[in-house]
Structure 1
């Protein structure tokens, strides 16, 4: 490839920024030629051999008459029309207007100094570009790139289109990316097709002589893609911003006359009762006789539905878009309509569905909401029984809102029509990339479809509200005739995807043709799910149900997004105005959230989903080696936290030790090495700690606990990452690497104890600051190194005991910081709220330090949340003083996980090494329980079951192992401090034992070898 670098200057007189760009080109490996505008002389001879001609300038085009002369313009036009490519950067981006290619020039032209504000106060300013979904310009960069970290007062120029303007002839390929969001105030990358050639303009942020060279590797990969793109013939693309579309009125179907439809299905679907005999109802059911405004969700792998108990369905998402903004129904009796949210509603939640029951004068309707397990479709079934109703009326709003962080109008549903054969509405966006269908199993008596207007039912028919609040959406209405009917089931299906309308029709037809299968497949899924997970049965039924709901609540967050992958999203909540109109809670993939969730998923035995999550991390690893913090379901990646990368390594090690899947780990070794290289580059001091500086936040983003360059949380994550990396390396045969990392891990643990211990407070500080004044606030952050076992036992237990008091613990969980701290505020995210996550951390730390009573109380605090508000689910955050919801999400993955993990790894005390076929069990069964049955503990491909029973004089353990190879079990049960009163029996024979003391907690050390027969252990007490 030959690139002609064109300039108004001679090569010896180039300004600094242009010179830096030319020097970059000379070292890029591409052939290059320096060309002056004045050398063109009306001929393309200087350009003909060049694949691409590049003009990079920080000066206005209008200042250079030579560049805008008629001869030069004709020469460059001819070059492009015959197949040449022109690359215009910074202020050169306005040149398309001078060339006569573009009729509307960039309207945002600046030449001065950077005055922009960072998106997140206290963090570096990051600027770059992002495409619509993805574009080949960003291959290897996950659809977008940061190229500049500006400082205030740094020289700056731009020639871009603002929010108010779009190019007339060109296509917007990318808009500005700024830290965690996008801005269509800067439309940065524009493509023009000119005859057989093209012009690509990048009007901002692309510097070769910046003060901070943080993103030069990303910039270079991006520019490699740019020149590769410019070397190919031009082609049109649908993957662009702000496409030109036809008028809405051409595709809108307005109201039909009020008459019975003559359209019929070719084969009318029979009415199927949604609760027929033979389909067993779930035993795990929660019911509220009087529905509240609390949240509910129902999910499949490719669809999730959210709403409120009283109001019903609020949103239906098929990632990456929201198909439906609301769905409501009403019944007409004696000419008057009663909407379902206006009367009393009985609400029930089950793993497979939710139901809402409404009653009136002589009638009852049961609404069931459920999702397909694998397909992108949801169903709302309305079962009517009674007499006296004349019509059932349904209305819904359809808007293809692309998930955050894309701007509101990035995707617009612009085509809607009625398909009489399917008895359904069909919708597509302006690019014809997304499609959806909303229809019913019954013939529709009347229908209506309007654009950017609302509808209402009055005087026996639909009427249009011209002042409706609907924007960029269709409103649909359907009416069903109930006259003379005693019972009927109406099944509504909402299906959609990124794909053609024909593809959605296939999903829709398979769903509507067998609506009963929705319920059946969902129930069968949960039957299989429960059968494969660690099962626990205790004398406490509330505990048993709370644990099972937490299993469901955790698993519910596992989503499959075609084109991205499979993994756990962080949490669900309905979209609210204000903080981003397309943020359904935190319903996208997160780094740290997924890891802490997956620790629990590994513990209860769903290895396959954890493997999918690890693959997702690797697939979207930054070129630096960093693991993402956020991956929106719309495909936007943010690598802006310091803890995701070490936690990725920790999870990889935990996955290996629990599953024994060496083959998968070996396939990911190159990604692990890349992550480790990145982490080592963040070490700036002799203490060996990785740092937050220019990497992103560690744990605490705001408030008095924020601002340290190393948190105790992050330091501990690093120590554990080194330990797990050592384990992985040894398993793969890399002994030298393993030994180095093992030594480093121990050194980091010692340094944590040395540098964070505060002799004055007798507590570990939250963080180390650059000015050497530690963050001395008393917080729960030391729970992390305690639960990992990084700190001396005596200090750990002393610290953990302080979590028990009222300053930290409320009946609903643990606050992040003590109420005695002057910065404490019970409603603020990082300065006083109770997070079930923190409560789980503290519970694990308490079990690690043998404080089982407090640890179990914190488990109770977490699992009881599933009955308090959103039935079945655990909140993200609660007010530190009132216990009311205080977070973004009403249903959070790691909150659910922190019910499961402290039970399995804490209360049961299970530590698994599938590589060595070794299990350590240090149980702390609650004293008031006289029995406990645990089954399906997965160690590799095999399972361990055990039963526990006790009387005042005997404690019995019974173990059953399914593996063909013997399992080594290190049983460490607690016992009396008076050891002389204890007699150990194994399979009826007396055995000697060892004793280990943990503070006031005495444990036996009992090595066992389990084969295919049952092994019985008894502790007999002389009382």
Structure 2
């Protein structure tokens, strides 16, 4: 352990020359000695939204919130953050039972993990002793005091000594300056005590406490310097301690704040107060999540996992919200920091937030949307450029002098797009008026940095931070955002009554759309980027798919591209590769050249839905949904291998926009729900899977009203029933694209009904389950052609394999379609892939006529 500061060492030496019984000089202050005691058992919430599964020692977990984070492995080891400071890491547990001559490594006994919205429980189960770690983030905690908490619940067949060991960190999130490994002294506090952690900065110190504990050895000053773990020992007596909670409590100072008189004694008092109010602190979180879905989207479909994944995505986004001195924002992602000072991404990102807010608007948390945009706007540059990256400790530095704040170019057009989406979804034109100057400056920035009239990469990266063979000059990704941003600006300017600006922006959108057509190549694909000399980087990538994000842009001659995205060279069984296998620079573990991002899978799902390719789209959506249970239960990881179903080792396991990419394609694609509140328009164009008879959406926000939408199959029809909780002027539009020029002249009512005609037959792929560690083996639907009396599909599957398609008859059940390329097996179609070279995919066409 690093030496204490000189003053502290002298105080410790005067107090004692011996060892673990040291009472540090930290306790010698004038305030009364604070007391700790273990906590009576209380019931933790039983939320119906719960994931229970075997603990996988090599898989991560995350428990995060506005002021704290507990991140670790499912073996029960963890690190604890009082944001933005890591107070400790590598926490682990051992047990030694009386009369049992072995020390039990409890982390090797990890049995189950239960993830609830308000807490996570990891059970460490031995034949003679069980320890449950209950981890939660108190919503009512004071900043820097018990804002992340662990409760140990112990059950044993005989008395035992439990040891919780950890490495002290006292480390602020990178890149804020830190002060080395902290020193520690023991402070008795009634029935228990605390380690007071000291740094070389006298204003930066912390405390880690546990009632009912005694300290492990604290290395005396007289010994040579050496880094050693700290440990709490709990003498557990099952006769009196069973069922009680032993809380791990922590506190830390803000090193940049004015020092507090008697600060250490007051910190002990604050810790003792938290110890006396553990249940109250927990209830603040439990009550919040008990009512979380009272006003947020809840989906009911025949697929229970689908329903749960939608709700977990909303919770995961909420748990990415972090409070700072400059407002609350959405952190990009979470993962174990280990010996570093960054918990995964852990920072705030412009584009991550702005893509995610499409999901937030979809489930109706407009307060979160405003708060998140306010955070970004607080860091908008005077010339209009929007921020890219902002550390949780950026306020402690000259952040603008570092290369992060405005490193990327895409947040700026995305902000204009998001403002338009927010106003449509919420009807909050007052927010637009309040920030109209910000919007105009952002749009002006994009117009000031163009080549051939299109925003280019000269003002920062578009999507990729690195690229082979060279950095791109004008990415198709950035050009597609620029077109949608210009269209959004035309819409917003019209709302604001600035007709000249609206006309200019509309003309610009048309110009960019024509320029985008030039990216199309002879292979039927849209090129990755255009070079400064007008030539193109023709590598086949996923990035053109963002062109369909907002719904107003549709790239021409894109069918071949959509088919290739749906095929096995792009689509794995767990998501979408960034680059096609076989491309010159393809690498399945490269960050940008072939790995799988759930973000990309969400983009292509939206593109397929907007092009009426529901089978390919739903396959993408299902892949993202399955990731909810893969790694960090309830959250979705950042990036996976393009070859094997396995996240990359450094992937942030709780990634903000990955969760968003289940919600947005589901709500706006599968259910076809898009809203324009100022025009009183509700767009409903569902593309339900053929094996779903009904779907219900609760709490769709529509201005001041809440809508419940029921989609119910009835023979050859799909009935769409909309019920609002108050009388509302609302017109339902069912065309494929939302017509933002249409005027609604409906009467005020609480009930609205539309019936859609269904085709005589529909098909759905039988469930296909991806196996972690395996390569791509599932069947793909690469082309879908529908006519009034027919359906033609192109599928591809591994050589010689078979696949079932569920056949749905709408209406006259006695009819049998004329069939080519498959055979009827009951109510299913059996399709076989032609036999080719072993392991290769082969195509098979299937045609139905009626």
What range describes the TM-score normalised by the shorter chain of this pair?
Answer: 0.7 to 0.9
1:658 is aligned to 425
Q: 1:783-862 maps to which residues of 2 (within 5 A)? A: 783-789=545-551, 791-792=553-554, 795-862=557-624
1:444 is aligned to 213
Moved more, 413-422 or 643-652: 413-422
Residue 604 of structure 1, aligned match among 355, 363, 376: 363
| 2:49 pairs with 1:284 | yes
Shift, 1:814, TM fit? 0.7
1:668 is aligned to 435
3-state SS of paired residue (1:585): coil
| 2:69 pairs with 1:327 | no
Structure 1: state its 5+ residue gaps. Answer: 1-243, 454-463, 974-995, 998-1004
Number of residue pairs the alignment of both structures matches: 721
Q: 1:475-494 maps to which residues of 2 (within 5 A)? A: 475-482=230-237, 484-485=239-240, 487=242, 488-494=244-250
Question: Is the CA contact (8 Å cut-off) linking 1:366 and 1:384 kept in structure 2?
Answer: yes
1:82 is aligned to none
Shift, 1:585, TM fit? 0.9
3-state SS of paired residue (2:414): helix
Question: Is the CA contact (8 Å cut-off) linking 1:626 and 1:645 kept in structure 2?
Answer: yes
CA offset digits 1:197-254 (Å, max 9, x no partner): xxxxxxxxxxxxxxxxxxxxxxxxxxxxxxxxxxxxxxxxxxxxxxx96466246698
3-state SS of paired residue (1:401): strand
| 2:72 pairs with 1:307 | yes
Question: Is the CA contact (8 Å cut-off) linking 1:557 and 1:568 kept in structure 2?
Answer: yes
Measure the CA separation in 2 of the matches of 1:451 and 1:699. Answer: 53
| TM-score of the aligned structures, taking structure 2 as reference length | 0.79
Do the aligned partners of residues 326 and 497 (structure 1) sit closer, same or farther apart at CA in structure 2, a change above 3 Å counting?
Answer: farther
Shift, 1:363, TM fit? 2.7
Measure the CA separation in 2 of the matches of 1:415 and 1:247. Answer: 13
1:131 is aligned to none
Q: 1:269-668 maps to which residues of 2 (within 5 A)? A: 269=37, 271-274=39-42, 276=43, 280-310=45-75, 312-333=76-97, 334=99, 336-375=102-141, 376=143, 377-406=147-176, 409-410=178-179, 413=182, 416-418=185-187, 420=189, 423-440=193-210, 442-446=211-215, 448-450=217-219, 469=227, 475-482=230-237, 484-485=239-240, 487=242, 488-498=244-254, 500=260, 501=263, 504-505=267-268, 508-561=271-324, 563-576=325-338, 581-635=340-394, 636=399, 638-668=405-435
3-state SS of paired residue (1:795): coil
Measure the CA separation in 1 of the matches of 2:578 and 2:52. Answer: 32
Q: 1:932-1011 maps to which residues of 2 (within 5 A)? A: 932-972=695-735, 1009=746, 1011=748
Do the aligned partners of residues 432 and 671 (structure 1) sit closer, same or farther apart at CA in structure 2, a change above 3 Å counting?
Answer: farther
Residue 782 of structure 1, aligned match among 522, 529, 544: 544
CA offset digits 1:913-955 (Å, max 9, x no partner): 1222222111111111001111111123322211122144443
Shift, 1:735, TM fit? 2.3
Question: Is the CA contact (8 Å cut-off) linking 2:34 and 2:269 kept in structure 1?
Answer: no
Do the aligned partners of residues 245 and 392 (structure 1) sit closer, same or farther apart at CA in structure 2, a change above 3 Å counting?
Answer: closer
| 2:656 pairs with 1:919 | no
Measure the CA separation in 1 of the matches of 2:221 and 2:166. Answer: 12
Measure the CA separation in 1 of the matches of 2:660 and 2:12. Answer: 46
Q: 1:754-765 maps to which residues of 2 (within 5 A)? A: 755-758=518-521, 760-765=522-527
Measure the CA separation in 2 of the matches of 1:782 and 1:452. Answer: 63
Measure the CA separation in 2 of the matches of 1:557 and 1:888. Answer: 16
For CA contacts below 8 A with separation 6 or more, give which structure has more relative contact order: 2
Question: Is the CA contact (8 Å cut-off) linking 2:698 and 2:709 kept in structure 1?
Answer: yes
Measure the CA separation in 1 of the matches of 2:558 and 2:550. Answer: 11
| 2:506 pairs with 1:742 | yes
Shift, 1:403, TM fit? 1.5
| TM-score of the aligned structures, taking structure 1 as reference length | 0.66
1:907 is aligned to 670
Shift, 1:482, TM fit? 2.9
Question: Is the CA contact (8 Å cut-off) linking 2:88 and 2:170 kept in structure 1?
Answer: yes
Shift, 1:450, TM fit? 4.7
Shift, 1:833, TM fit? 0.4
Question: Is the CA contact (8 Å cut-off) linking 1:707 and 1:769 kept in structure 2?
Answer: no
Do the aligned partners of residues 885 and 736 (structure 1) sit closer, same or farther apart at CA in structure 2, a change above 3 Å counting?
Answer: same
Do the aligned partners of residues 257 and 767 (structure 1) sit closer, same or farther apart at CA in structure 2, a change above 3 Å counting?
Answer: same
Q: 1:219-298 maps to which residues of 2 (within 5 A)? A: 246=6, 249-250=9-10, 255-257=19-21, 269=37, 271-274=39-42, 276=43, 280-298=45-63
Measure the CA separation in 2 of the matches of 1:444 and 1:576. Answer: 26
Do the aligned partners of residues 415 and 674 (structure 1) sit closer, same or farther apart at CA in structure 2, a change above 3 Å counting?
Answer: farther
Measure the CA separation in 2 of the matches of 1:283 and 1:369. Answer: 18
CA offset digits 1:772-799 (Å, max 9, x no partner): 2201111111101133345546523442
Question: Is the CA contact (8 Å cut-off) linking 2:354 and 2:415 kept in structure 1?
Answer: yes
3-state SS of paired residue (2:151): strand
Question: Is the CA contact (8 Å cut-off) linking 2:38 and 2:212 kept in structure 1?
Answer: no
Question: Is the CA contact (8 Å cut-off) linking 1:451 and 1:475 kept in structure 2?
Answer: no
Question: Is the CA contact (8 Å cut-off) linking 2:711 and 2:720 kept in structure 1?
Answer: yes
Do the aligned partners of residues 585 and 344 (structure 1) sit closer, same or farther apart at CA in structure 2, a change above 3 Å counting?
Answer: closer
| 2:464 pairs with 1:700 | yes
Measure the CA separation in 2 of the matches of 1:690 and 1:344. Answer: 52
Shift, 1:751, TM fit? 1.7
| 2:753 pairs with 1:1016 | yes
Measure the CA separation in 1 of the matches of 2:249 and 2:647. Answer: 32
3-state SS of paired residue (2:557): helix
| 2:621 pairs with 1:884 | no
1:166 is aligned to none
Measure the CA separation in 1 of the matches of 2:717 and 2:423. Answer: 37
Structure 2: state its 5+ residue gaps. Answer: 759-810, 813-850
Shift, 1:625, TM fit? 2.4
Shift, 1:829, TM fit? 0.8
CA offset digits 1:299-320 (Å, max 9, x no partner): 121111100011x242212222
2:490 is aligned to 726
Measure the CA separation in 2 of the matches of 1:1008 and 1:1020. Answer: 24
3-state SS of paired residue (2:605): helix
Do the aligned partners of residues 739 and 255 (structure 1) sit closer, same or farther apart at CA in structure 2, a change above 3 Å counting?
Answer: farther
Question: Is the CA contact (8 Å cut-off) linking 2:184 and 2:198 kept in structure 1?
Answer: yes
Measure the CA separation in 2 of the matches of 1:572 and 1:483. Answer: 37
Measure the CA separation in 1 of the matches of 2:433 and 2:11. Answer: 54
Shift, 1:346, TM fit? 2.3
Question: Is the CA contact (8 Å cut-off) linking 1:414 and 1:430 kept in structure 2?
Answer: no
CA offset digits 1:687-736 (Å, max 9, x no partner): 2111112x211102223386221111101111122222222222223222
Measure the CA separation in 1 of the matches of 2:440 and 2:182. Answer: 44
Shift, 1:451, TM fit? 8.8
